[in-house]
A and B are shown apart, each in its own frame.
Chain A
Amino acid sequence: MAEVLVFVDHVDGAVRKPTLELLTLARRIGDPVAVAVGAGASATADVLAEHGAVRVLVSEAAEFADYLVVPKVDALQAAHQAVSPAAVLVSSSAEGKEIAARLAVRVGSGIITDAVDVEAGAEGVVATQSVFAASFTTKSRITHGTPVITVKPNSAPVEPVAGAGAVEELAVEFSAAATGTKVLSRTPRESTGRPELTEAAIVVSGGRGVNGAENFAIIEALADSLGAAVGASRAAVDAGWYPHTNQVGQTGKSVSPQLYIANGISGAIQHRAGMQTSKTIVAVNKDAEAPIFDLVDYGVVGDLFAVVPQLTEEINTRKG
């Protein structure tokens, strides 16, 4: 069977969930071959094997951390050359899209970004995309070269399946461009202990209606009762109530959880662009005319300062 390259997104050897989802999708098209680079890359091999990787190509050169993006493109290109894959799958993170795009130019291939599904088709790999703030669903193909496709988190289930997971050293010859952009310093984000926003099964968000940084404690308490991630609208972020890394929407994160709860968020198109593909949508808003109610499976017209704490308490009671 044809091999499919999966670029591994990991932090010091801890594989991120979207990569495990890519392995599920890759198996529909062929045999997944994982490419893991950077410090801790070899430590990813076991998890990747447990999720179906037949081979794991590893390179731990220092260049991956010291310079931006291009060294990773060089590595993926080396893997592409070594494997001649039927497709290349990369997570749709900001960096993932940049890596995929540059690879596509180098190997003479078309690119599809932000796919929400990938399947084998009569004329090659077919990718589903959700476009124009999720108002249209398109099916696309690559017509030239190896399909290079980036896939959004939460687009496929994580399915453990044993793969051989043979670890091989990937020989990477860095290009002249590789050292062009120096990373002078890197400050890791402090962990909140809550799930990653883009990977979470449940997201609880707050908007301008939350009315103050201190009031986000109400949103966090609800999130914690559900084991959820916390999101925010741009209005809340711009007001300085919550970090930009938690912004949901066109210029923030795009999320696609099983459940999205919007509190004090009106539902502007740019916010909807980042959450409209959530499976179940719930909103609490005191304005019955708020556009967010057009999207909801369940909505409560009311003051969030009354509704949200009551909801949290009820959930905690039911959990016992």
Chain B
Amino acid sequence: MSLRIVVTVKYVPDATGDRHFADDLTLDREDVDGLLSELDEYAVEQALQIAEAADDAEVTVLTVGPEDAKDALRKALSMGADKAVHVEDDDLHGTDALGTSLVLAKAIEETGYDLVISGMASTDGTMGVVPALLAERLGVPQVTLLSQVSVEGGVVRGRRDGDSASEELEASLPAVVSVTDQSGEARYPSFKGIMAAKKKPVKSLDLDDLGIDADEVGLAGAWSAVDSATERPARTAGTIVKDEGEGGKQLAEFLAGQKFI
């Protein structure tokens, strides 16, 4: 029996670019390049490894985002995923984490799944909540923040390295997994992979297809509101000295002046 893996991937603005807020206090996507969230590459990698280890498996990558988000899907397909699902709808603009998880959960159910794999956090919102929200909404176990993961005989096992302890976890499929960037380097798409990706199916869904009302999502449907966003004033230029043999002592003097010593 085939193992159906759905990987959630987010299209995010390049963190090294200048990110801004638009007038409606959502992310201004106009003048920043987007890409597949780097942390989701680790999720794609683990999905591909699990699929390779299984007798028969299929990896679907799923994104919720604007037209350009197809770029993120293409990247994942060129890494080796089999097919893609793109949820795209003008009414999605400004959706919060709860709304995003609602849309993702419906699209995952629509696609059919045994295992969902997500990144530990996006590189823009960086909330790190969507995988837990998906588990809650889908009513399946969450096996999250794994630095090591394996699937065998309908059971997922993994290691979660937390603040105070390292835990070995286990759950039966279906389940939602999220992986950290300690889970293993993500592969680069090969030329062959890039060419093959062009022929792989990308299915588009909108809110109607998922039976979601426009007022459940978007800026109006968000249960949190941003009232203001101010650019942090540039730090006032600090003192910079060149070490001529007394650099450590000078630094100590500064720290003493600030009452740290």
Closest to B246 in A: A310
CB of A102 within 8 A of CB of B96, answer no
Q: Is the interface of B mostly helix, strand, loop or mixed?
A: mixed
Query: Please, how many residues of chain A have a CB less than 8 angstroms from a CB on the other chain?
Result: 91
Segment of A29-37, A39-47, A297-305 engaged in the interface with chain B = A297-305
Closest to A180 in B: B141
Interface bits A213-257 vs B (CB < 8 Å: 1, else 0): 000000000000010000000000000000011000011000000
Interface residues on B, range: 35 or more
A319–B261 CA distance with the chains assembled, in angstroms:
7
Task: Tell me, yes or no, whether A187 is within 8 Å of chain B by CB.
Answer: yes
With A95-B162, A135-B232 in contact, do A300 and B251 touch (Cβ < 8 Å)? Answer: yes
Min Cβ gap B76→A in Å is 19
Task: Tell me, yes or no, whether B143 is within 8 Å of chain A by CB.
Answer: yes
The B193-233 residues at the A interface (CB cut-off 8 A) are 222-232
Segment of B51-59, B61-69, B84-92, B236-244 engaged in the interface with chain A = B236-244
With A138-B229, A143-B222, A318-B256 in contact, do A184 and B238 touch (Cβ < 8 Å)? Answer: no
A141–B169 CA distance with the chains assembled, in angstroms:
35
Segment of B3-11, B14-22, B106-114 engaged in the interface with chain A = B14-22
Task: Tell me, yes or no, whether B82 is within 8 Å of chain A by CB.
Answer: no
With A105-B98, A269-B15, A298-B239 in contact, do A318 and B252 touch (Cβ < 8 Å)? Answer: yes
Task: Tell me, yes or no, whether B60 is within 8 Å of chain A by CB.
Answer: no
> Which among A185, A297, A314 is the interface contact of B239 at CB below 8 angstroms?
A297
CB of B251 within 8 A of CB of A303, answer no
CB of A288 within 8 A of CB of B129, answer no
Min Cβ gap B25→A in Å is 8
CB of A140 within 8 A of CB of B260, answer no
CB of A314 within 8 A of CB of B252, answer yes
Closest to B25 in A: A138
Give the 4 A-B CB pairs with smallest separation, nearest first: A302-B243, A310-B248, A110-B223, A180-B141
